[in-house]
Amino acid sequence: MGEIAKQANQIVKKALERLTEKRDIENFQDVPTIYNNASGMINDDERKAALLDAWMVSQATNAVFLLWRRGIEHDDIEKTWRELPTTDTVAQHYEDLLKKDNEVADRLEAERRDFMRHQHELDIFKAVLNGQTKEEAEARYQEYQNKAAKSVGA
């Protein structure tokens, strides 16, 4: 994990050694520090590693383009950069991992809804035990739900 981001960071560092315009240097000078800080937070989280890869490849791509745009010799850096997967490829890997997260979230939401449905049925049953008809209990429950929704701005 992290080899792509590590290589991209090396590309940015080399580009920084060659950039000459103050504005260009300022655009990339914090990238190595950001990389180091973020790397220390990954803790075997594949999503974080994939996002760092995508971000760093994007930064390296921007740096190589800037060297080209400014006419600064960069053949050796470009060679290393071309060995990296594309930004789209690493970003897609991150998106695929998020899809897995969304599947988990969808499953948990379905379970929550099922729980709430059972809870609703139990609440209606409790109201009937307290002397209401099922219809009265449903009406009061709906009234309560409407008030709750209004209170949170829904």
Residues spanned by the domain of 73: 3-85
Place of tokens 């800037």: 66
Q: Is residue 94 part of a domain?
A: no
The total number of structural domains in the chain stands at 2
User: Encoding tokens for residue 113?
Assistant: 């809804």
The candidate with the shortest Cα–Cα distance to 56, out of 119, 114, 5, 99, is 5
Model confidence pTM above 0.75: no
Q: Are 53 and 118 contained in the same domain?
A: no
Query: Mind listing the pLDDT tens digit for each residue in 95-136?
Result: 999 898 888 888 999 999 989 889 988 988 999 999 999 999
- For the chain, the 3-state helix, strand and coil shares in percent, each to the nearest 5, are 80, 0, 20
Q: Is residue 110 part of a domain?
A: yes
The answer to whether residue 37 is domain-embedded is: yes
pLDDT, tens only, 94-104: 999 989 888 88
